[in-house]
Structures are given as C-alpha cells and as structure tokens.
Structure 1
Amino acid sequence: MSGDRGVRHHPVRHEVFQTSLMSALLDGVYEGEMTLAELLGHGNFGIGTFEALDGEMIIIDSVPWRMRVDGTVSRAALEDRTPFATVTNFVPAVGHRITGPTTRAQLHEIIDRLMISTNYLYALRISGDFEWVSTRTVQRQERPWRPMIETTAGEDVVRHERTSGVMVGFRTPLFEQGINVAGCHVHFVDDDRGRGGHVMDFVLDRGLVEVCLGTDLRVALPLTDAFAGADLAPDDLDARVRAAETHE
C-alpha cells in the first residue's frame, strides 16, 4: 500500500453514509434521530457528534468513542444517538509513509497528491507518533439549543505533547460545504483511548496516511420538526462553517 498511485489506476464505487447535514447542526438541530447501532450498520469508520452536542465522536474498527469537554474518553453505547455523523467501511486504496516532521499544511498537500480528483470524497486515517496535536471538544447543550457558532465560540483548545494515536476523518469537496465540512475534517484519539477531540492543528513526526475513495454519498435527512424548520441555506453559510469548525 506504499506509494501514491494505487487509487489512480483502480477506482471503484464506494459509499459514504451521512446522517443529517452540517448546515442543520449549525442551526441548532441537535436532536439525535439515529442510534449508533443504526449508524454502524452503514460503516465501521467515521466521525460525528452526539445528541445535544455531548462530545466528539470517533469510530475506529466499528468501535464508537465519545470524547467529552472534560477530557474524558469512553466507549459510546449502541443506544446513544447522533444528530450528525459520517461513516464508511474503510478500505484504504492508497497509503503514504511519513518519516519526518510534517505539519498540517504539508500533510494536506500529501493527501491532495494521493487523490484522483478534488471532486470526490475521501475517508482519511492518519496514524503514528505526533510531536503535538491541538484539539477542542464540543460541550453538552441544554434546551433551548443555540446555533452551533455560539456554542463553540468559547471552547478551549488543548495541546497534547508527544503523543501517539490516530486521526479519523474525511476530505470533502468544496461543493459539499454545508452538506458536510469542505476540506479536511478529522478527529483524534490517542492509542490509550484516553485523550482526543476535534483536530485544530498538529505536527506528525512519523506514521502512515491511508486514503479511501468515496464515490457515492448517501444522506439520511432527519424526519423531525426541528430539521423541517431549520434554516439550511443562510447567506453566510461558509463563514458559519469556518467559525464553528476552525474558530476563524
């Protein structure tokens, strides 16, 4: 799986499943219509959040983990619910070894070279030893729920020094902004499953980048009053996504 040409020669159809929309989450639709048991029926790998924004979600090898704002990590229950998540059955088509310090921007350039086109969706698994990783985590909300841009404004960013672990996420095309988060969106958990969260920045010392091509996106829209009444196309949608995800 070394090199960067396997996906270029053998593209095959591969489904990525998503429940709800990023724009719905931005508008405060935090009800969890789908259980994790249902979600795992669509994929063994992915990211998302939990009902009421009660932590960041990372799914690795069919095991869902919940990373809360207090720094704890625990295995999520199958009956837990999610208002927004993206999963797939991870089958890496191509991989690339990292042998020296690599910044987030440099790694994004490597990922771009591994893709056959920026018009497709890609699942990403980045595992190895990190010089540092900075993360933040959403905090559980109480009704009435506020828009996500307000709930994430005061989140603390935590820096994890000299850690080993895995980043899970997706590289999403620009035209999907609002459906999901355009660009690279990843969550991190360390090898001990003790620390992690939504990734803000990092330096990877050494490790493996694996890429899984996604050609078919299946989206299940919630059948709830909150979703039916949500504003899914605000004029400042791109700015809201950036503010909620990157604090820009």
Structure 2
Amino acid sequence: MTIDPVLAHRLRVHTFRSDQLTDEDHDPGDIIQIHTAQDVQAGAYEGDVTVGDLRPLGHFGIGTLEGLDGELVVVDGEFWDIDVDGVARLAPDTARVPFAVLCDLVEATTIDVTGPLDRAGFEALVREHLPDPDGCYALRVEGRFAPVRFRSVARQHPPYRPLAEVLATDQHDFTVPELVGTMVGFCFPPDAGDLEFAGFHLHLLAADRSTGGHVFEADLHDARITLAHPHAVHVEL
C-alpha cells in the first residue's frame, strides 16, 4: 500500500495493530479506520476485530461485517447491520468486522436544507462549506429523504472474490419512496484512494430502524447536515 506523502502530512495518518485498539490512543473527533479500501476491493473480508472492540471508538460510522455480510451503519453508538434484503438488525458484539470507518462529531458545522436537494446538489452544497477541499470530512444528515436508492450485498464465503465481482453478481439494489432517518458517512479527497473510498461514502438508517443501506441516491427534504473536519486518521492494519 502506498499513501501520498502530502496527504499523510496533511491528515496525520497513523497506523496501528488490533491489539492497540483503544480509545486512549487518539483524540476526540479523530477518524478510526479498520483496514483500507484496497483491502476490501481485493476481497479481504475476514474480520480481526469485533463490534464490541469498536464500540468505544466512535458513535457513528460505516462499514461491513465479516464475509461482506451486509452494510454496517453506526448511529448514536448502535451498530446496525443491513442485510441483503434491506432489513436492519442490531449487530452483536461478537460480530467480526473487516472494514469500518468510525468517528465522533467534534467542532462541527451545521447546514439546514429545506430541499428538495438531490445527491449531486447535496455534494455540491457540502463542498461549498469545506475549509480545505483536499481534507477529509465526517458527515451526519438528519431529515426526510424521498426517494432513496440503496444497496446491500449477500454474505460471501471463501475463497473470496474481489469486490467488483461481488457487486456484479450479489448486489441488491432497492428503492424506498420516502423515509425519515439518519445518513452518515465520510468525504475523502481523490489522493486518499489507497486508504479510503475517495469522494462521498454514505450509509443511511431509517428512524424506525427498519431499513437502510449504502446510499446511491437520496433526495433531501427538511434536513440538517452536520459536518466535521477531523485532524487525524488512525488505520488498523
């Protein structure tokens, strides 16, 4: 894995091992990441940490469970797994995690949206408020979304295939006409491609905790965007 040295200097990227996974090793608001986008894209779906390990490290975030078993959405410290049919269930502490990005919102900015605002308009609005276009950002959006187009993925079994192959055959794309809920995620710059999925990576959970998933499209209505600019990224390798 290579990481752009300018990016590393700007974001203060740190690596650590799973046995160093503790909330005492980072500042409030830092991003904690389990493995890298390259790992997931290559088919590294085995988890070496658990949901229980991750609970103290961030109250919101995104990820997946071992075997690419659905979409993980972390809202207010609750770890929700969205299965291939779009049904949300609480992930047990024993569930293993091959990839996750977690954070707490610290020194955040809020943006109120009356909408309607589609995905492209949402991204453009957020970018207008970024103090550094080449930084990384954590986002939380509370409000009404209509419509929403999601995806989730069926659980995989060894030998694992690369992510692109899995998405071509085992991705379930579904649409919800309207829901009230919480969308969480991150925006990473293009030169973070060796570390993260560049651009906006967003997951959404319905307020009634019935459904959610990885967000393709979501039109915002009467929403509040909370945007934070973390100063460090800690990556467990």
TM-score for both structures, normalised by structure 2:
0.85
User: Using the alignment, how far apart are the partners of 2:88 and 2:29 within structure 1?
Assistant: 30
One-letter amino acid matched to 1:134: R
Hey, what does 2:206 align to over in structure 1? 190
Flag as ranges the 4+ runs of structure 1 deviating above 2 A: none
Hey, what does 1:227 align to over in structure 2? none
Unaligned 5+ runs, structure 2:
1-26
One-letter amino acid matched to 2:222: R
Hey, what does 2:162 align to over in structure 1? 147
User: Using the alignment, how far apart are the partners of 2:144 and 2:58 within structure 1?
Assistant: 26
Hey, what does 1:63 align to over in structure 2? 78
Alignment of 1:97-176 (within 5 A): 97-154=112-169, 155-176=171-192
Cα distance per residue 1:59-99 (max 9 Å; x no partner): 11111000000221111111111101000122351011111
One-letter amino acid matched to 1:120: G
User: Using the alignment, how far apart are the partners of 1:219 and 1:120 within structure 2?
Assistant: 16
User: Using the alignment, how far apart are the partners of 1:178 and 1:200 within structure 2?
Assistant: 22
One-letter amino acid matched to 2:206: D
SS of residue in 2 equivalent to 1:79: coil
**In structure 2, which of residues 186, 197, 202 is the aligned counterpart of residue 181 of structure 1?**
197
Hey, what does 1:15 align to over in structure 2? 30
TM-score for both structures, normalised by structure 1:
0.82
User: Using the alignment, how far apart are the partners of 2:93 and 2:28 within structure 1?
Assistant: 28
Deviation at 1:14, TM superposition (A): 3.7
| Contact 1:72–1:195 (8 Å) recurs in 2 | yes
**In structure 2, which of residues 60, 73, 78 is the aligned counterpart of residue 45 of structure 1?**
60
Cα distance per residue 1:148-169 (max 9 Å; x no partner): 1111113231111121111110
SS of residue in 2 equivalent to 1:119: coil
User: Using the alignment, how far apart are the partners of 2:193 and 2:127 within structure 1?
Assistant: 18
Identity of aligned residues (%): 33
User: Using the alignment, how far apart are the partners of 1:37 and 1:116 within structure 2?
Assistant: 34
SS of residue in 1 equivalent to 2:38: helix
User: Using the alignment, how far apart are the partners of 2:120 and 2:220 within structure 1?
Assistant: 11
**In structure 2, which of residues 180, 202, 220 is the aligned counterpart of residue 204 of structure 1?**
220
One-letter amino acid matched to 1:188: L
**In structure 2, which of residues 51, 55, 63 is the aligned counterpart of residue 36 of structure 1?**
51
| Contact 2:61–2:184 (8 Å) recurs in 1 | yes
Does 1:213 pair with 2:229?
yes
User: Using the alignment, how far apart are the partners of 2:42 and 2:103 within structure 1?
Assistant: 25
| Contact 1:35–1:80 (8 Å) recurs in 2 | yes
Hey, what does 2:16 align to over in structure 1? none
Q: Once structures 1 and 2 are overlaid, which stretch shifts more, 46-55 or 156-165?
A: 156-165
One-letter amino acid matched to 1:195: T
Cα distance per residue 1:144-192 (max 9 Å; x no partner): 1111111111323111112111111001111111311111100011111
User: Using the alignment, how far apart are the partners of 1:195 and 1:133 within structure 2?
Assistant: 11
Hey, what does 1:75 align to over in structure 2? 90
User: Using the alignment, how far apart are the partners of 1:102 and 1:49 within structure 2?
Assistant: 28
User: Using the alignment, how far apart are the partners of 1:93 and 1:70 within structure 2?
Assistant: 34
Unaligned 5+ runs, structure 1:
1-11, 222-248
| Contact 2:85–2:172 (8 Å) recurs in 1 | no
